[in-house]
Amino acid sequence: MSTFYERLEQIARRFDEIEGELAHPSGAFDQTRYTALVKERAAIEETVGVYRLYEKTLEEFASNEVLLKDGGDAELHALAEEEAKSLRARRKDLEERLTLLMIPKDPDDDKDVFIEIRAGAGGDEAAIFAGDLARMYIRYAEIQKMRVEILSMNESDAGGFKEIVFTAGGNDAYRHFKHESGVHRVQRVPVTESQGRVHTSTATVAVLPQVDEEIEIDIRPGDLQIDTYKASGAGGQHVNKTESAIRITHLPSGVVVSCSEERSQMQNREKAMTMLRSVLHARKKREAEEAVGSMRRSQVGTGDRSEKIRTYNFPQDRITDHRINQSFGNIRAALDGEISHIVEELLKDERARLLAGASNSPV
């Protein structure tokens, strides 16, 4: 048996062990362990189901081979040949499914995310475009039944945002948004353009998975500079009258995070600290050596027009993702949150790249 199938057999045995423990728990009820077991079972349930269907198919194929070798009954032999074709097709399909299921999963896929969008090159039009992207992602998150919370935003006088930070949670948020990090470029006639000329502007997007509480991040109180200020923009008169907004600077790294959308200073501080932990963890994970904002810069670059990952061309009603060299139509629908087809093509490309690098596959 190959290593690939040995791994599948180990996963199947582990599934049975979990089923047994959930059905007959020993000792006092442990909610933490129960939750962990349910999560582990859910993660491997589909793989085990397909593997057992594959084993059954192999058994049927072996039985059918016996019939094919028996040439005594011509009619039975013909039926066995037809069955053999069906079984070969099913076996091939199941092998392909198992190969995909055994591709290592991104451990961050099910995490909630922080999404930061900043206006790049292009002045007022860049801020307007940043607003378009923010609306696109918020609408997409809502379509996917995610929770969305705005943490901070700096609105532009011309419309849109100079910067906006929000969270999206639930339904494998990071899996949906992880390929959105980078420079997005728009080509269109801005509302601020009186001569009807097409302009090119950019906005940068950074996506950070939220860090699990059990992951220890060394943040010493003495390393933090915490400033309060009066929030502006959304939030009503309350936030404009009280210094409820929080800005936290992590002095050793220079990372700055802020939250201003909650009425309570305590709530804003808690959310800002959560984001700080995620930024610092991401920096550590990527072994960044730069002192300031390395995670953000590694995702979005400088915001220059030449660093684009995707272009939104309004005159041609075309969105082009330059990483997968594919184009999509209907920009208006996309900016209204209908980007699931783009997300799926990026995930498909990710799977193909992982599969190309996978070893010990059965096919």
Task: Find the range with the poorest average confidence among 143-152, 226-235, 312-321.
Answer: 226-235
Asked if 166 and 142 touch (Cβ cutoff 8 Å), the reply is: no
- Give strand ranges (E) for 113-254: 113-119, 147-155, 161-169, 182-188, 199-209, 224-229, 245-250
CA–centroid distance for 277 within its chain: 18
Q: What is the pLDDT of residue 235?
A: 41
Asked if 15 and 70 touch (Cβ cutoff 8 Å), the reply is: no
Q: What is the pLDDT of residue 206?
A: 95
Task: Find the range with the poorest average confidence among 41-50, 95-104, 334-343.
Answer: 95-104
Nearest-angstrom CA–CA distance, 111 and 64: 46
Nearest-angstrom CA–CA distance, 312 and 189: 12
- Positive or negative, the CA dihedral 284, 285, 287, 288 is negative
Residue 282 has pLDDT above 90, yes or no: no
Nearest-angstrom CA–CA distance, 9 and 52: 9
Residue 1 has pLDDT above 50, yes or no: no
Most confident range (mean pLDDT) of 223-237, 267-281, 288-302, 330-344 is 330-344
Per-residue tokens: 207? 């996506």
pLDDT tier for residue 307 given thresholds of 50, 70 and 90: low
Asked if 257 and 272 touch (Cβ cutoff 8 Å), the reply is: yes
Could you give the C-alpha distances from 155 to 121, 134, 208, 224, 292, in angstroms and in order? 16, 12, 22, 26, 24
Task: Find the range with the poorest average confidence among 39-43, 304-308, 315-319.
Answer: 304-308
Amino acid at 284: K
Residue 288 has pLDDT above 70, yes or no: no
Is the pTM of the predicted complex or chain greater than 0.75? no
Per-residue tokens: 203? 């906005």
pLDDT tier for residue 160 given thresholds of 50, 70 and 90: very high
Asked if 304 and 183 touch (Cβ cutoff 8 Å), the reply is: yes
- Write down the domain spans for the chain: 3-101, 107-363
Nearest-angstrom CA–CA distance, 49 and 57: 12
List the one residue out of 116, 206, 214, 114 whose CA is nearest residue 169.
114
Neighbour order of strands in the sheet with 326-329: 147-155, 161-169, 113-119, 199-209, 182-188, 308-313, 318-321, 326-329
**Rounded to a whole number, what is the largest CA-CA distance in the chain?**
94
Domain covering 107-363 assigned CATH 3.30.70.1660 in the classification: yes
Residue 264 has pLDDT above 60, yes or no: yes
Inter-axis angle of helices 340-357 and 74-101, nearest 10: 100
Average pLDDT over residues 280-297: 58
Cβ of 350: how many Cβ atoms within 10 Å? 16
CA–centroid distance for 135 within its chain: 17
To the nearest whole percent, how much of the chain has pLDDT over 90? 64
The helix or strand, by DSSP H or E, that contains position 348, with its residue range, turns out to be helix 340-357
Q: What is the pLDDT of residue 41?
A: 94
The helix or strand, by DSSP H or E, that contains position 327, with its residue range, turns out to be strand 326-329
Task: For tokens 């030449």, name the residue.
Answer: 306
Instruction: Express each pLDDT in 216-263 by its tens digit.
Output: 788 999 999 999 988 764 444 444 456 789 999 999 989 999 998 887
Q: What is the pLDDT of residue 256?
A: 93
Output the DSSP codes for 203-243.
EEEEEEEPPPTTS-----GGGEEEEEE---STT-HHHHHS-
Burial of 160 (0-12, 13-18, 19+ CB in 10 A): buried
Average pLDDT over residues 264-272: 90
pLDDT tier for residue 75 given thresholds of 50, 70 and 90: confident
Instruction: Express each pLDDT in 181-226 by its tens digit.
Output: 999 999 999 987 778 899 999 999 999 999 876 667 889 999 999 9
More confident residue, 333 or 298: 333
Residue 292 has pLDDT above 60, yes or no: no
Residue 106 is classified by DSSP as P
Q: What is the pLDDT of residue 283?
A: 78
pLDDT, the chain, mean: 87
pLDDT tier for residue 301 given thresholds of 50, 70 and 90: low
Task: Find the range with the poorest average confidence among 61-75, 130-144, 181-195, 305-319.
Answer: 61-75
